Amino acid sequence: MLKIENLTHVYGNGTRALDGVTLTIPKGMFGLLGPNGAGKSTLMRSIATLQTPTSGSIQFGDIDVVREPEKLRRVLGYLPQDFGVYPRVSAYDMLNHMAVLKGIANGRERKATVEALLQQVNLWPVRGKALAGFSGGMRQRFGIAQALIGNPELIIVDEPTAGLDPEERNRFLNLLSEVGENVVVILSTHIVEDVTDLCPQMAVLAGGKIQLEGAPTELMHRLDGRVWRRTIEKAELADFQKRYNVLSSRLLGGRTLIHILSDENPGAGFEPAGNGLEDVYLAAVGASRRAAA
């Protein structure tokens, strides 16, 4: 289990990226949702010991992550948002090199590890291909392979499906789901569907603070009977945004479909909307922005 208490990080320019973040993350898949600039990457880098928080604590089992970063690194697998590799090196050779860096010195053990991981992420048929020729999804699957070297107990993946086509996204999420059965896996993303599909527990981070935490189904139930929808003309949107708490708007058949948050039936042609996790997320982010303003 990972415990984060009152974690704060202030950058040198005065930006408060994290503001008293407290979270308890159990074994399994945990989704961390938030918009760009919410502080997700700062939190992931702090957990991964790539930067030291200004204050607060991070505890993984019996490891004090802030004071004992080397201990955490021995049991950590990390796939950052921008995962760089040597483009002309083959998948096999690159993974073998990374296994050496992870401390697998025995050649026979390293060979077995590399081959098993390439099989697991379905890259064995292209093991001799240079990484420069990999698609985005293949690179992400390679990223997971390197994160799994050494049988980590904590795995962090930061925005892993951004830019992937639907087929590669599904393949990658299925792989993550398998990996997350026996270890702590933190999925940091702004893509709501990824969390809906995978995570039994989640939190919303916005403005450097945890806005919501719990099971997706539980959080969605909190909005039962409070989300309403209506189709309007595009020119009416600005007026409706002044009059209502508009969660989202999108084009539908040349007109604009809006979702609003209201404790009572607003009338005026609105009808109940089947609230989903996207409405939960947008309501939390919107509340954070209004509080900041």
The larger pLDDT score, comparing residue 270 to residue 173, is at 270
Angle at Cα 41 formed by Cα 40 and Cα 46, nearest 5°? 100
Q: Encode pLDDT of 60-111 as tens digits.
A: 999 999 999 999 999 999 988 777 767 889 999 999 999 998 888 899 999 9
Distance of CA 175 to the CA centre of its chain: 15
- Check residue 105 and give its pLDDT: 86
Using the predicted structure, report yes or no on whether residue 23 has a pLDDT greater than 90. yes
C-beta neighbour count of 69 within 10 angstroms: 16
Using the predicted structure, report yes or no on whether residue 271 has a pLDDT greater than 90. yes
Angle at Cα 75 formed by Cα 179 and Cα 115, nearest 5°? 55
Domain 2-215 is of which CATH architecture?
Answer: 3-Layer(aba) Sandwich (3.40)
- Check residue 48 and give its pLDDT: 94
Q: Encode pLDDT of 8-19 as tens digits.
A: 999 999 999 999
Domain ranges for the chain, please list them.
Answer: 2-215, 221-292
Average pLDDT of the segment spanning 165-177: 84
Q: Encode pLDDT of 195-244 as tens digits.
A: 988 899 999 999 999 999 999 999 999 999 999 999 999 999 999 999 99
Can you give 48-86 as a three-state secondary structure string?
Answer: CCCCCCCEEEEEECCEECCCCHHHHHCCEEEECCCCCCC
DSSP state of 190: S
3-class DSSP assignment, residue 235: helix
Does the predicted TM-score (pTM) go above 0.85?
A: yes
Residue 149 binned pLDDT confidence (cut-offs 50, 70, 90)? very high
Residue 173 binned pLDDT confidence (cut-offs 50, 70, 90)? confident
- Cα distances from 273 to residues 94, 168, 264, in angstroms, run 49, 31, 13
Per-chain mean pLDDT for the chain: 91
- Cα distances from 291 to residues 18, 112, 223, 245, in angstroms, run 16, 53, 20, 14
Give the separation between CA 174 and CA 153, rounded to whole angstroms. 19
Average pLDDT of the segment spanning 179-205: 90
